[in-house]
Amino acid sequence: MKPQSVIVGETQIRILPTVKGLVSESEIVEDEINSFKPDLVALSIGPEEVKGTREWDGEPYDMSGWDEVYGLSLRKLLGDNSVRLPPPSFSTAIKISDSKNIEVVGIDMDEESFTEAYTTNITFWNTMARGRLEKRMVKKGIAGSTPEEISINMERSIREIGGFAKLEEQRVSTMAENIGSYSDKDRVLAVIEIPNVDSLVKLLKES
């Protein structure tokens, strides 16, 4: 997907879709920061994740089963060196922004809010359904002939489980509200995981 621009008040928000973990996204993000020259870079991760990514010590990440399935599907398509954690689009955004003294913020839910939303929306049966889905994905992989399709198809499968769909809706709503709180900025670059781009753009246009 190509970048999209949305005007909210007097702020130009440029939405840059990203495929989580894809190494080739690093150069795209750097080019976008250099060309767009944002006053603020907003990432679709929580505030704690921005801090953790900035301070990452190089030790291996603890990955969920979903992360492993997702990574294997991308590697099968693009090769072993195509995927890395922390996600290059986010780590590069932080690195380049820090070097240019551009503020970086995480616009997703913080840990406390996410835990509350998860507890409210996700039932025991939702968790069981997701576990069964994960097992099927381990055997079959995630369908898709492009990285974008793999990312979208994985999220679409998860969101077929009602509680997880509600959780993702709340996450996107939080992102839209948080971006809107930076109305004092002229240009905001938002690096957003591709499955949430369309719904976030819709909410911003309605705001």
pLDDT of residue 92: 96
Query: Which pair of structure tokens corresponds to residue 68?
Result: 């492993």
Taking the model in full, what pTM does it have?
A: 0.92
Average pLDDT, the chain: 92
pLDDT of residue 141: 83
pLDDT of residue 43: 98
pLDDT in tens, 62-100: 767 778 888 888 998 899 888 888 899 999 999 999 999
Other C-beta atoms within 10 Å of 34: how many?
10
How many angstroms separate the Cα of 30 from the Cα of each of 52, 100, 108, 123? 20, 11, 21, 40
| C-beta separation of 194 from 17 below 8 A | yes
| C-beta separation of 152 from 194 below 8 A | yes
